[in-house]
Amino acid sequence: MSSIAVPSPDPDLWLSTRVRVKRYLEMEAAPDLPGIAKFVHHRFAERYLLPLKHIRNEDENGFLTMGVCCLLIEGLTAFREGWATTEGKSKRAFKLFFARESRFAAFRPFDEDFWKGVRCGILHQGETSRGWRLNFTNPQGPLFDAANKKINCSLFLSELEAVLQEYHDDLLRSGWDDVIWVHLRTKMKRTIEDCKS
């Protein structure tokens, strides 16, 4: 009877531009809470926020901004909830995100409609649907004009950046065995499993 070799994670694979799998596992074994919190913050920032900031300096694009914001919301919710994946859970991710984050309280009555008309509309069709509108020409307006279902993309991104910083800060205020860290480690376990060669 032959056994099948189970591949192991590639220790040299980059999880961010600063941390490889091997380094993350060392931080987890330590445990290095500030190091991991900084790594997770940087991983999200470099993938989602920093590229948008560079593009926004050149030419504002509300659809790109909101598409990326939706990806960040799902990814961040997966870390917060300890989900290995958001497959089959994306609608729930938005409900949980808007319920948890007071900065986005205005969206709570529209959580499912936002998911369908903004998230699914942009990511699947390259456009919003269900009457949702994007404001990327007037960054001074309100975050959300509920009467017209109009989102201020610049402010949405800024508030989402603050949410990411708050997640980082929540990690630093919490202990290794607190739920927030248990969920982060559960998500990272799956992330590293996905690095198997």
Asked, for residue 7, whether it belongs to a domain, the answer is no
Sign of CA pseudo-dihedral 23, 26, 30, 33: positive
pLDDT at 5 over 90: no
- Which pair of tokens denotes residue 53? 């900031």
Asked, for residue 176, whether it belongs to a domain, the answer is yes
DSSP letters for 148-191: GTEEEHHHHHHHHHHHHHHHHHHHHHS-TTSHHHHHHHHHHHHH
Which of 28-32, 48-52, 99-103 is least confident? 48-52
What are the tens digits of pLDDT across the range 69-123?
A: 999 999 999 999 999 999 999 999 999 999 999 999 999 999 999 999 999 999 9
Give me the number of domains the chain comprises.
1
Asked, for residue 170, whether it belongs to a domain, the answer is yes
pTM of the model: 0.91
- Across the chain, how many H-helices and E-strands are there? 8, 3
Asked, for residue 125, whether it belongs to a domain, the answer is yes
Asked, for residue 57, whether it belongs to a domain, the answer is yes
Asked, for residue 4, whether it belongs to a domain, the answer is no
In percent, the amount of the chain with pLDDT more than 70 equals 93
- Which pair of tokens denotes residue 166? 């708050």
Query: Domain of 167?
Result: 21-193
Asked, for residue 3, whether it belongs to a domain, the answer is no
Asked, for residue 12, whether it belongs to a domain, the answer is no
